[in-house]
Each structure stands twice: as C-alpha cells, then as structure tokens.
Amino acid sequence: MRIPFYQIDAFTDRLFGGNPAAVCVLDRWLEDSVLQAIAAENNLSETAFLVGRNGRYALRWLTPKVEVDLCGHATLATAYVVFRHLEPSLREVAFDSRSGELRVSRAGDLMTLDFPAIHGQRCACPMQLSEGLGREPLEVWRAAKYLCVFAEEDDIRALQPDFSRLADLELMGVIATAPGHSVDFVSRMFAPRVGIPEDPVTGSAHCMLATYWAARTGNTLFNAKQLSSRGGDLGCELRGDRVLISGRAVQYLQGEILLNP
C-alpha cells in the first residue's frame, strides 16, 4: 500500500517556521493501531489522516502517543494539501471530526479555520503547575487545557518548564499567555502528557485564548504570535460561539508511505 504523504509547515510564510504537520491521504480507514504507528514513526506533534472527496473529508489527528479531539495546525496543513493538490478549484473545504464540522476557507494564500470557541473557568493554581512552569501565573483558567496568564511578553519568553512535572497534571496541556509588544497577545503551549513537550504553534489553543482576551479587552479581532523557537503568526476573530483562526502554510516535502498490507 502506498499512502500519499505531505509535510507542511503551518502558521508561517517561511520554510522551517511555524508548526510542521504530516498529512496522510487515505482511500479508506486503516486500523487504529496502524494510524498510531504511522504517527509515532513520523514523530511530529501531529499527523492528520483524511478520507473523502468533493470538498468534504473525515479528518483525524494523532500525536506520537494518542489521538486528539482538535488540532489547528494539522487542520490548516490538511486544508493546504486539499487546496494545493487534491481539489485546487475549491475555495472552502469541510472536515468532519471529533469536534464536529470544521470549515476552512481561503483567500489567496491566507487560510481561515472556523473552530469552536472554548471558554475556560477560573481556578486556583495547582502547586504542580506553578512548579512545572517555574513561576506563579497571575491567573489560571481551565478547560481541556490550563490557561496561565502572565504580566508581559518577557515572562512568556523566560519560561523554562519542567516537563516531567507538567506531564503529571490532570489536563492534557498548558497554555501560557501575556500581552505582546508588537501583537495583541503572545503564547507558548506545553503538552508533555501527550508526547509534545513544547508545541511550536497551536491553533486549537487560540480557541481558548481568543475568548479570554476578548473578555479581558472587549475586542474581538487579534493578531497573535506563538513564541516557540520556530515561531508562528495567527489572526483570530471571536464570532459568537466560533473562533476564526487565520494563517499561511508552506510545503516542506511530498512523498509516499510504503505500508505492507
């Protein structure tokens, strides 16, 4: 079996920036164990698998360890593959996922994800969280991930997490955020529990970041930057119970996975 395979750098306009995702185009679903083995072999934060045609696809995302419910950068990468290689005449594609229907539209080389808004609940800071981050956040919110708020961008840049401590938290990941110097807000994202010590750019985190910063500032439009070593740039718009997340992508490679039947 030959599986078409692409590796795409998402939320960037330059090669070796943003967040790399693998995209595997299937004509039918394989056993879950095979999908997980492929994701582990790829050893990227996410591998996306899609099955479908005519502008509508079923989409799944797997880290090297687990399947996840929502992934922004791998959805952007998958949309890039659909628009560039599978159905270049499309201006919008629909994905059926664990998080419901997700649509991606394009205008030129800018693509926009239509994702669900995620609202956190304010909570006390677990000791393990502050110890894992190496400093105490000003605020902590929780949903599927912790959202930790700091005073300024330099606080986010200075974080040196203890990943072994963060991996033992009950939630799957930790988002750290603060106002930005040249953008509305900055962030970093850590998810060692699911095999991603630091994610380069996390589209799904901005479903929660957009709702937090909208409540705090009263604005609904944001320019955001993720401060990983690779870096990433995102536009966000809170629109009711949805968040529109915009970005670009660059193709790194194209090939085939050779899978024994």
Give the active site residues: 46
Amino acid at 222: F
Dihedral sign (CA 43, 255, 77, 33): negative
Q: What are φ and ψ of residue 156, in 5° steps?
A: -70, -45
* H, E, C per residue of 225-245: EECCCCCEEEEEEEECCEEEE
194: phi then psi, degrees, rounded to nearest 5? -110, 20
Q: In terms of Cα–Cα distance, which of 203, 134, 184 is closest to 162?
A: 134
Q: How far apart are CA 18 and CA 128, in angstroms?
A: 29
Distance of alpha carbon 157 from alpha carbon 187, whole angstroms: 9
